[in-house]
Amino acid sequence: MDVGQNISAGNGLWSFGNNVADNFVDHANVSIPLYEQGQNLVCDISEFFIRPNTISYEVGSSTAQLTKKLAERNSHKENCKIIGIECEENMINKAKDHCKGINNIDFALANVNEFSFEPTDFIVSYYCIQFIRPSIRQHVINNIYNSLNWGGAFLLFEKVRGPDARFQDIYNIWYNSFKIKNGFSASEVISKTESLKTVLEPFSTQGNLDLLSRAGFKDISSVMKFMCFEGFLAIK
């Protein structure tokens, strides 16, 4: 099934592998509201937490659009490294090309649920955790919390479900219209929805807050909200 931007995926078989890396940025920009503005906000917030002689992480770095921005924003801080964690080799290869010549970036080809973080002050996940199976999602967030130094931050951006059926209906209808206005055909919108079954499992705003709270975070604030897309800042 064609889901737009020359990307195909079967029913319930959406994947970030194959040729998705070649068209990922274009697809994300027209699929996620305020995609670039949210990345810029992440970079703004990173300045409050990333310090010299530290390692910071992006979970699900894909083709490293955000990773590169973070590295460039904090390049004046001595011995400051950004590590992108990504499980798809094609994404890593594209990311390395995109970040060629930037010395304060590394990439780890790994599943985040098996990854060992070094102690850190800053971790960001930009629309990634929603693709992790709910059965292991808490384990991943617990690991992130335990890896942060006291006062460190986790920035979590996610698609969110509505708090009840009325809000979810509004979100669904609005989001379909948003994508069609951005150039998707109706069949591409339906195909993408079909492809994401069992793959994309968003939590509600409260569900994400509960996830963070169970891990141990007590200081949590929403830093961006646009309909069914939200960013949370959680400080240890």
How many other C-beta atoms lie within 10 A of the C-beta of residue 118? 10
Query: Which residues are 157's β-sheet partners?
Result: 126, 231
> Do 201 and 134 touch, CB atoms closer than 8 A?
yes
CB 161 within 8 Å of CB 203: yes
State the Cα–Cα distance between residues 128 and 164, nearest whole angstrom. Answer: 23
What's the pLDDT tens digit per position in 127-160?
999 999 999 999 999 999 999 999 999 999 999 9
Q: What is the pLDDT of residue 11?
A: 76
- pLDDT at site 76: 94
Span 177-204, average pLDDT: 93
Domain boundaries, the chain: 2-235
Instruction: Give 74-133 pLDDT, tens digit per residue.
Output: 999 999 999 999 999 999 999 999 999 999 999 999 999 999 999 999 999 999 999 999
Distance in angstroms (rounded) separating the CA atoms of residues 184 and 193: 12
**Tens-place pLDDT, residues 193-227:** 999 988 999 999 999 999 999 999 999 999 999 99
* pLDDT value of residue 224: 98
Q: Is the dihedral of CA 122, 30, 212, 198 positive or negative?
A: negative
CATH architecture of 2-235: 3-Layer(aba) Sandwich (3.40)
Confidence of residue 233 (pLDDT cuts 50, 70, 90): very high
Whose CA is closest to 55, among 33, 42, 70, 40?
70
- Give the CA dihedral 124, 125, 126, 131, nearest 10 degrees: 180
- From the list 178, 155, 208, the residue with the least C-alpha distance to 47 is 155
Sequence letter at residue 68? K
Predicted local confidence at residue 21, as pLDDT: 80
User: Of 27 and 41, which is predicted with more confidence?
Assistant: 41
pLDDT at position 19 over 80: no
The predicted structure's pLDDT at residue 12? 64
Q: What is the pLDDT of residue 5?
A: 67
More confident residue, 183 or 13: 183
**Tokens in use for 166?**
């009325």
**What's the whole-number mean pLDDT along residues 168-186?**
96
For residue 222, the model assigns a pLDDT of 97
Q: What is the DSSP letter of 115?
A: -
Confidence of residue 23 (pLDDT cuts 50, 70, 90): confident
- Helices 165-181 and 186-195, axial angle in degrees (round to 10): 130
Q: Is the dihedral of CA 194, 87, 31, 185 positive or negative?
A: negative
Model pLDDT for residues 49-68, shown as the tens digit of each residue: 999 999 999 999 999 999 99
H or E segment to which residue 190 belongs: helix 186-195
In DSSP terms, which residues pair with 225 in a beta bridge?
Answer: 230
d(CA 160, CA 167): 11
